[in-house]
Amino acid sequence: MARKMEPRRRSPSGKWEYIWPMWLTLLLHVVAIFLFTRGFLLTRTELPYYSSCSDISQSPCFSSSDNLNSTTNSSDGSCWTKPAINRLVIIVLDALRFDFVAPSSFFPESKPWMDKLQVLRMVASRNGSSARIFKAFADPPTTSLQRLKGLTTGGLPTFVDVGNSFGAPAIVEDNLIHQLVQNGKKVLMMGDDTWTQLFPHHFERSYPYPSFNVKDLDTVDNGCIDHLIPSLHEENWDVLISHFLGVDHAGHIFGVDSNPMIEKLQQYNNILERVIEELESQSGPGGLHENTMLIVMGDHGQTLNGDHGGGGSEEVETAVFAMNFKKPPSSIPPEFDSSACRLDMDGNNVCISSMQQLDFAATVSALIGIPFPYGSIGRINPELYALGARRWDLGAPQEPSESDVWMQNYANVLCVNSWQVKRYIDVYSASSAVGFSSDDLSRIASTYAQAESHWLHSTKKLLSGSKNGSDTILPTLQKQIDAYFNFLATVAELARLKWTEFDLKLMISGILIMLLSIIFQILSMLRGNKQLGIFMPLSGASGIFSISTLAYVLLAIRACSFLSNSYILEEGKVANFLLATSGIVMLRYAVRKEKLLPESFGFLLLCAFCQFSIEVGLTKQAATSAFMKEHTSWILNITSGFPVWEFVAEVAPMLALILLAFLLYKATNNSSFKWAWKYTIRSTILSYMLILLHWISDGNRIGFALMPESIGRNYVPRIIYAISLGQLLLLSFGALFEDNSLDCKKNLITKTVAILSAWSSTVILLSGKQGPMIACASTIGGYCILRMDNTGERTTERPSSSSAVDPFRVMQWSLFAVCLFFCSGHWCAFDGLRYGAAFVGFEEFVLIRQAILLTIDTFGFSIILPVLGLPFLVATMKQANQTKHFIYTQLSQAYVMYGLSTAITTTFAILCVTVQRRHLMVWGLFAPKFVFDVVGLLLTDIFTCWASLYYFDQVKDDQ
Amino acid sequence: MAKATATKDSAIDGSPFISASEALIVQLLCGCSLAFSLWVANSVYSIHLLTDPSNTLLLIWIIELPIVILLYSRYRRNRKRCTYLRAVGRGLLALPAGAAINFLGAVALGAPVTIQYLPKTVNWSLMMSVFTTVPASCVLGSSWADWRRIFAQTKPNGSIEYLICLPAHGAVIGGWFGAWPMPLDWERPWQEWPICVSYGAITGYLVAMVASLGFALAHNRSCLPKRD
């Protein structure tokens, strides 16, 4: 048995003596983050009102029944506007980039993924066809759910709904689909099951397919294809929605510049060709599709990397292709023509107009002739509307020209549109607690009053009165339309401002609580010093000055770097720069002390290695193709080309894993381990072997059929999870039963090794092939940092102060952890998540399970393992005082210090999103960074608290 | 302990005296050769750091190297045992060794390692080597204790050691700060590696040279009475 601990003088009451600061910190952080998030992630009140046909009588405009030209009778069941089309086919291609549709001649250089949807371009450029390509601008956040919501409600969904994207709750606001159903239109839906979640009771028929398995490129699309063409022959629908997901998934998994993406686009091209043929063949008089419009559109774009969600131009720019089979429209008045034309490579003239996605709901409602959704703030797009507005001018021979009729009708439709938007704004301001400011309201009111008075005094008279010559009508109409445009533009602009408006009070109170928690952490750190019998370290003293101060300086530099978007973008390199700086300082000390030179030199080499892998990660972040996100590792990225390298890349991780297993075996051979612990730890070696087996059976290279595919794919990972879980349970209970006789320090080391090994197998498995390499790197780096203690100057110069935990080492530990986050191929953006990791061992999607796996993959090396490994720092300190109380005080101090460094950087990230909340990149860069940091902070706190329960046991030596 | 006293002895023993005017001339020549190399690059080859960093850095260290070696070898330690030529020789040897250390440091701190950057990084490390290790090796030779005292502990002793120690530290620290603007999205050409780092290093080197002159002067003042 080891040395028996002597009872100490004032003994603490129990473990809570040491660990309460961590729990209080967790509590403070939770409150602060909750408050801040409430203020920062925007919310918009949804109004429970619905538009209905009879509302039109309140407007000053002509309803379609008191027809301004008295050419058609009002028996067609329309209410707000006269229907221009009878049936509508909407084909949504998820994540359709603008350059997928537009001819490559519109771009400076031709890329492999361009010109693949040939048919749209051909049809649009065909002479006399009534088809048009639009460049459509989506409003951020550009996630599918928000966009579908925005497209159907005509409003601006806010970022806070992103959280609901996994649950996809039904839309309760008034929307296009609701209006369709309300007005007796039958809606047929196929494809992405998000639609059925959004509109659970609206569809006449639906063929939903699960959308969340990003690895699956074909299920949804094939389902759509199976039902799309047959449905075109059916009569029993009015609106058909078909939502294809393949391009989105191909982007997420492979990136834009990849073969699967191009294959997907070619497949779509064929489908669209067939759809257009089919529709055209039945578009003759009396045909099924005599009055059908086809709309092919994207809900949002994507970056070259397959990322979307933010407000970057690649993400918001998508395309809309609209085609009417009726007959070619005459040209619309040139004032409304926003198109830019260019010759494509076949020499055809292709024109591309532009529109806002915000306008989609209102325009489609107007085309079909149903009331606009209550909350729509869009404007009826003249060009898209003109494509359908062909119906009533046939029987109007007395009219001077088609474009005059069109203008009259359009002015009236705009009148309805403006009235509806004004009504929404008024009701919203009256009913919502956080409505528009009175300044904005009066501005809206004055522009509307202007337009309305013009309408009442001149235009309405003109239109309803006698047929004056077109020379007086046209300028008046033009003026009227301009006035409405002005009003609608004002509203859209204010609404965009409004729904990116933050609640500063909540945000500031959140920040204040964060600051409070930092102060509290600093105080409890100092309190630890006091308990250890150290007075405030005089930072002027030479030894402490140079090394401890440097720790704080590095922390400060890192924290301040978050204020600039460029540094956030390159955060990995910044962290590595600082880590290497600390390594150089370490080397300097090593040279000074003439010991541990190899360790500090090795640490620098390790920094170079980290730098290299971070750089590879960054290039992947910028733009890469053919990069398997599911297989994650930068190792694969290097290997393109030489077969030798590929072989090395295949074998090196396995060797690294075997090395790790060997290390673990050596570590447990130590006699100080009790058998129970020993065997718990050794079962990790079994897990490692299983991981090897998993890879061998998975890889195609050495892929001899060891076992049936499915067993290797799913059961082996599950066994590994089970072993990890069992180990964790054993360890947690083991901690309860353990006797106090062992040397406290050794005990601590045993526990740390045990818990790290229990976690490591899962983390390595999820990280893929790079896992063992990163694990080796972190072992080496951790070892170097641990050894570093002895190079510190203080141990020799002032032995009394050596009992305090060295902030420099804790700082290095946490910086190294941050570097590992970036080394393992992550970055702070939602496309930095490796969704593939969530499906290791499982095929189907279960929210909580997959979220846990994704979290372990993302933060495994950067939070879970470093936090749990922190006791090493204390256990390796050389000191005379070995009492439990002493060691526990140090340990708690180390945890507080580690938590402090995380809290400070997170606080700066929060401050930075507050300062930059109007920044262009706020949704693209700062908000993801904020989310990652906040999740990281909470996880750090949670694991600290868990570790505190595990490591600290009752100090029973107070008798 | 014994080592420490030995160090002290050697410092007093072998450290050659350098008068204020000599120090001024040495530093002036170093500074002027730096300016001269930039001028040559600009007017003869019509390149500068922005347009062709690799060759400009090459030019800088090639022009600076002989001047530094020839100047500092005059102040070599242990004149009796060590000839001028030998000092020159070890200065030349120190060039690749110092470059290797600087290279490793740069890569660890984040210098790109791809092939297209390799010549730039190599030339940059050679230039840094001329600034840092070459003068030290000319003067100190292979005395590990002295190297450690000057570079790890920053305790220069004697005016010539100030002239070695401060500019070397200045160049490194200047280069470190010079890397700061690199990630910013200003999209200026000088943000490329190694341009701004080189600017930082050169600036740090020059500033530290002036400072070292001051220190050397002050040191000489305080030492003169003792020598008399």
DSSP string, A648-682: HHHHHHHHHHHHHHHHHHHHHHSTTS-HHHHHHHH
Chain A contact for B110, CB < 8 A? yes
Q: What is the pLDDT of residues A84-102, one digit of tens each?
A: 888 899 999 998 999 898 8
Please choose, from the candidates A335, A258, A318, A245, the residue with its C-alpha nearest in 3D space to the C-alpha of residue A96: A318
- For residue A188, the model assigns a pLDDT of 92
Mean pLDDT for the stretch of residues A722-727: 90
Chain B contact for A796, CB < 8 A? no
- For residue A53, the model assigns a pLDDT of 84
Q: What is the pLDDT of residues A515-559, one digit of tens each?
A: 999 999 999 888 877 777 654 444 434 444 567 788 889 999 999
Q: Is residue B10 predicted with pLDDT exceeding 70? A: no
- For residue A5, the model assigns a pLDDT of 39
**Three-class SS state of A95:** coil
Mean pLDDT for the stretch of residues A359-388: 88
- For residue A500, the model assigns a pLDDT of 57
* Helix (H), strand (E), coil (C) string for A825-891: CCCCCHHHCCHHHHHCCCCCCCHHHHHHHHHHHHHHHHHHHHHHHCHHHHHCCCCCCCCHHHHHHHH
Instruction: Answer whether A261's CB lies under 8 Å from A254's CB.
Output: yes
Inter-chain touch A581–B109, beta carbons under 8 Å: yes
Inter-chain touch A592–B152, beta carbons under 8 Å: yes
Q: Is residue B147 predicted with pLDDT exceeding 70? A: yes
Inter-chain touch B148–A615, beta carbons under 8 Å: no
Q: Is residue A282 predicted with pLDDT exceeding 60? A: yes
Q: Is residue A187 predicted with pLDDT exceeding 80? A: yes
Burial class (CB in 10 A: 0-12, 13-18, 19+), A740: middle
In this structure, of A102-106, A197-201, A334-338, the range with the lowest mean pLDDT score is A334-338
- For residue A330, the model assigns a pLDDT of 58
Give residue for tokens 């990149």: A921
Inter-chain touch A612–B113, beta carbons under 8 Å: yes
- For residue A712, the model assigns a pLDDT of 59
Q: Is residue A9 predicted with pLDDT exceeding 50? A: no
In this structure, of A362-376, A769-783, A799-813, the range with the lowest mean pLDDT score is A799-813
Helices A118-125 and A259-281 cross at an angle (nearest 10°) of: 40
Helix, strand, coil fractions of chain A, as percent rounded to 5: 60, 5, 30
Tell me how far apart the alpha carbons of residues A661 and A45 are, in angstroms, rounded to a whole number.
Answer: 56
Token readout for B41 is 């690059």
In this structure, of A432-441, A679-688, A934-943, B160-169, the range with the lowest mean pLDDT score is A432-441
Q: What is the pLDDT of residues A88-146, one digit of tens each?
A: 999 999 989 998 988 888 888 888 888 888 888 888 887 666 888 899 998 877 778 77
**How does A192-219 read in b/e, with b if 16+ C-beta sit within 10 Å?**
bbbbbbbbeebbeebbbbebbbbebbbe
Chain A environment of B184 (Cβ under 8 Å): 564, 566-567
- For residue A669, the model assigns a pLDDT of 77
**Closest residue to B110, CB basis, from A576, A591, A605:** A576
Instruction: Answer whether A860's CB lies under 8 Å from A763's CB.
Output: yes
**Closest residue to A577, CB basis, from B109, B113, B151:** B109
**pLDDT band, very low/low/confident/very high, at B7 (cuts 50, 70, 90):** very low
0.95 surpassed by complex ipTM: no
Instruction: Write the DSSP symbol of residue A308.
Output: -
Chain A contact for B152, CB < 8 A? yes
- For residue A533, the model assigns a pLDDT of 64
**Closest residue to A577, CB basis, from B112, B153, B179:** B179
Among B3, B103, B107, B113, most A C-beta atoms within 10 A, so best to mutate, is B107
Q: Is residue A495 predicted with pLDDT exceeding 60? A: yes
Q: What are phi and psi of A341, to 5 degrees?
A: -110, 150
Mean pLDDT for the stretch of residues B188-201: 88
**pLDDT band, very low/low/confident/very high, at A629 (cuts 50, 70, 90):** very low
Least CA distance to A611: which residue of chain B? B110
- For residue A618, the model assigns a pLDDT of 65
Tell me how far apart the alpha carbons of residues A553 and A463 are, in angstroms, rounded to a whole number.
Answer: 74
Residue that wins the pLDDT comparison between A252 and B108 = B108
- Residue A643's region, left for phi above 0, alpha for psi from -120 to 50, else beta, is alpha
Chain A environment of B169 (Cβ under 8 Å): none
**Residue type (1 letter), A648:** V
Mean pLDDT for the stretch of residues A669-680: 71
Q: Is residue A902 predicted with pLDDT exceeding 90? A: yes
**Residue type (1 letter), A274:** R
Tell me how far apart the alpha carbons of residues A918 and A915 are, in angstroms, rounded to a whole number.
Answer: 8
- For residue A162, the model assigns a pLDDT of 42
Chain B contact for A608, CB < 8 A? yes
Q: Is the pTM of this model over 0.80?
A: no
The overall average pLDDT reported for chain A is 79
Q: Is residue A389 predicted with pLDDT exceeding 80? A: no
Q: Is residue A71 predicted with pLDDT exceeding 60? A: no
Q: Is residue A442 predicted with pLDDT exceeding 80? A: yes
Q: Is residue A859 predicted with pLDDT exceeding 70? A: yes
- For residue A848, the model assigns a pLDDT of 83
Chain B contact for A576, CB < 8 A? yes
Return residues 88-107 of B near A (CB < 8 Å).
Answer: 104-105, 107
Inter-chain touch A577–B152, beta carbons under 8 Å: no
Residue that wins the pLDDT comparison between A276 and A739 = A276
* Other CB atoms within 10 Å distance of the CB of residue B98: 22
Least CA distance to B111: which residue of chain A? A611
Chain B environment of A581 (Cβ under 8 Å): 109, 176
Inter-chain touch A580–B179, beta carbons under 8 Å: no
- For residue B96, the model assigns a pLDDT of 93
- For residue A218, the model assigns a pLDDT of 87
The overall average pLDDT reported for chain B is 84
- For residue A955, the model assigns a pLDDT of 60
Among A568, A588, A784, most B C-beta atoms within 10 A, so best to mutate, is A588
Least CA distance to A584: which residue of chain B? B105
Tell me how far apart the alpha carbons of residues A805 and A174 are, in angstroms, rounded to a whole number.
Answer: 60
Least CA distance to B114: which residue of chain A? A612
Q: Is residue A184 predicted with pLDDT exceeding 80? A: yes
Instruction: Give CA angle at A752 (A747, A753), nearest 5°.
Output: 100
Instruction: Write the DSSP symbol of residue A372.
Output: P
* Other CB atoms within 10 Å distance of the CB of residue A425: 22
- Min Cα distance A622 → chain B (Å) is 14
Q: Is residue A958 predicted with pLDDT exceeding 70? A: no
**pLDDT band, very low/low/confident/very high, at A795 (cuts 50, 70, 90):** very low
Instruction: Answer whether A143's CB lies under 8 Å from A252's CB.
Output: no
Mean pLDDT for the stretch of residues A767-785: 87
Instruction: Answer whether A955's CB lies under 8 Å from A884's CB.
Output: yes
Q: Is residue A773 predicted with pLDDT exceeding 90? A: no
**pLDDT band, very low/low/confident/very high, at B62 (cuts 50, 70, 90):** very high
**pLDDT band, very low/low/confident/very high, at B208 (cuts 50, 70, 90):** very high
- For residue A329, the model assigns a pLDDT of 57
Residue that wins the pLDDT comparison between B96 and A793 = B96
Q: Is residue A75 predicted with pLDDT exceeding 50? A: no
Chain A contact for B187, CB < 8 A? no
- For residue A169, the model assigns a pLDDT of 63
**pLDDT band, very low/low/confident/very high, at B123 (cuts 50, 70, 90):** very high
